[in-house]
């Protein structure tokens, strides 16, 4: 047993669970080497994927056959260098405006750029959706709270300006993958729900957290099981073990009085083989929400068979030219619906376009 003393400040429940799971020093060294190796392989894989779409981003989007125009590096706030975003505007604007998606990328709060998801921007825009892909300031130079604040700035900007890109401000869906899914949910529970004034100004119709770590306590325990709690940035990101609560959307739900949460429709999307965020967190989050959300708010989880953490988003992007929607899911409040992975993009479009 080693380094348990680092986490003596955990509350007793978490400390007991931690102690029963913690791995030896030697086991951890092997795990750390393996993790570095996997990390670099996945970075190479992602770079390879992006390189294939860069042509479209810089040149292809100007061709007559392109599904959209890309407005690059639109500044949503003057405050910080990374406060810029790309807007993928469909070629046609339908009367009343196109539905809008604001997408926040993942990358452990430390990595990632808006160009990671060029394919998603292009594919949503080709379905008539004005799509916003944003950069945001990264940890450790900026804190989690500052990141959540930037989600608000992005939405504020979109609400005020998206009409000039053909978007309909009454039809905004907020989406995020992994850390991005965490940030949007944290924003909804800590800022949006609490401020009627903001809710009146920014009208979010749907929120879709994808493979999102919505409970940092559980995330910490999961990292311990994997022998990675010291190499993971979960605890430093949360500002120490005491912060595991405050950085958890699940914790903020638990503080609410019964049925007081005023939120957009929420659709949790995740894979049953997620190897970075335990899938159980999603079902627990959904049940808590159901108890605390006003009855008119729609809540649902879609769990995809045989899908892991990063695959979820890359598979959705690969379905770009092959939307499969022969079997719509039932909209049922509180339901956790298992789905075949071929329906992922179709299901998401159904939510956005509804």
Residues that bind ligand NAG (CB under 6 A): 81-82, 84, 99, 113-115, 135, 138, 141, 168, 170-171, 205, 353
Question: From the CB of 57, what's the least distance to ligand NAG, in Å?
Answer: 8
- Can you tell me the distance from the alpha carbon of 252 to that of 153, in angstroms, rounded to the nearest whole number? 21
Residue labelled with tokens 């159980």: 280
Question: From the CB of 140, what's the least distance to ligand NAG, in Å?
Answer: 8
Question: From the CB of 50, what's the least distance to ligand NAG, in Å?
Answer: 9
Is the alpha carbon torsion for 289, 290, 293, 298 positive or negative? positive
Residue 65, token pair as written in the block: 């056959």
Nearer to ligand NAG, 115 or 283 (CB): 115
Nearer to ligand NAG, 141 or 196 (CB): 141
Nearer to ligand NAG, 7 or 192 (CB): 192
Nearer to ligand NAG, 14 or 138 (CB): 138
Residue 134, token pair as written in the block: 């944003």
Q: Which residues have CB under 8 Å from 188's CB, separation 6+?
A: 174, 204, 207, 249, 263, 264
CA 267-272-276 angle, to 5 degrees, is 95
- Can you tell me the distance from the alpha carbon of 1 to that of 53, in angstroms, rounded to the nearest whole number? 47
Specify the DSSP element, H or E, that contains 174. Answer: strand 167-177
Nearer to ligand NAG, 118 or 214 (CB): 118
Is the backbone of residue 239 left (phi > 0), alpha (psi -120 to 50) or beta?
A: left
Residue 99, token pair as written in the block: 């539905």
Question: From the CB of 311, what's the least distance to ligand NAG, in Å?
Answer: 22
Nearer to ligand NAG, 204 or 241 (CB): 204
Question: From the CB of 253, what's the least distance to ligand NAG, in Å?
Answer: 25
Question: From the CB of 7, what's the least distance to ligand NAG, in Å?
Answer: 27
Stated length of the chain: 354
Question: From the CB of 16, what's the least distance to ligand NAG, in Å?
Answer: 37
Going through 141-261 in order, the beta strands assigned E by DSSP cover: 167-177, 204-210
Nearer to ligand NAG, 23 or 82 (CB): 82
């Amino acid at each position: 047993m080693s380094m348990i003393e680092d986490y003596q400040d955990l509350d007793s429940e978490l400390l007991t669970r931690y102690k029963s799971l913690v791995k030896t020093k030697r086991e951890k060294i092997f795990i750390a080497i393996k993790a570095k190796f996997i990390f670099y392989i996945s970075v190479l894989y992602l770079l390879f994927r992006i390189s294939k779409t860069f042509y479209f981003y810089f040149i292809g989007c100007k061709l007559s056959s392109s599904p959209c125009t890309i407005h690059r590096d639109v500044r949503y706030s003057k405050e910080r260098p990374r406060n810029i975003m790309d807007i993928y505007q469909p070629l046609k604007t339908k009367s009343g405006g196109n539905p809008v998606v604001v997408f926040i990328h993942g990358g452990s709060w430390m990595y990632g750029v808006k160009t990671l998801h060029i394919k998603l921007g292009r594919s949503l825009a080709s379905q008539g959706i004005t799509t916003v892909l944003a950069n945001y300031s990264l940890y450790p130079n900026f804190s989690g709270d500052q990141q959540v604040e930037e989600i608000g700035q992005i939405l504020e900007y979109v609400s005020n300006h998206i009409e000039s890109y053909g978007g309909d401000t009454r039809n905004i869906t907020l989406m995020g993958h992994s850390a991005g899914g965490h940030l949007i949910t944290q924003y909804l529970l800590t800022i949006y729900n609490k401020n009627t004034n903001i809710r009146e100004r920014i009208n979010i119709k749907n929120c879709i957290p994808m493979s999102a770590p919505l409970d940092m306590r559980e995330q910490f325990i999961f990292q311990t099981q994997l022998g990675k709690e010291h190499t993971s940035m979960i605890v430093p990101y949360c500002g120490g073990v005491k912060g595991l609560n405050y950085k958890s959307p699940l914790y903020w739900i638990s503080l609410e009085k019964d049925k007081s949460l005023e939120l957009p429709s929420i659709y949790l999307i995740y894979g049953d083989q997620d190897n970075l965020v335990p899938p159980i967190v999603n079902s627990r989050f959904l049940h808590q929400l159901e108890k605390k959300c006003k009855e008119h708010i729609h809540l649902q989880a879609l769990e995809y068979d045989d899908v892991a953490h990063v695959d979820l988003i890359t598979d959705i992007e690969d379905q770009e030219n092959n939307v499969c929607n022969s079997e719509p899911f039932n909209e049922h409040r509180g339901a956790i619906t298992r789905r075949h992975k071929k329906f992922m993009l179709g299901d998401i479009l159904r939510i956005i376009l509804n």
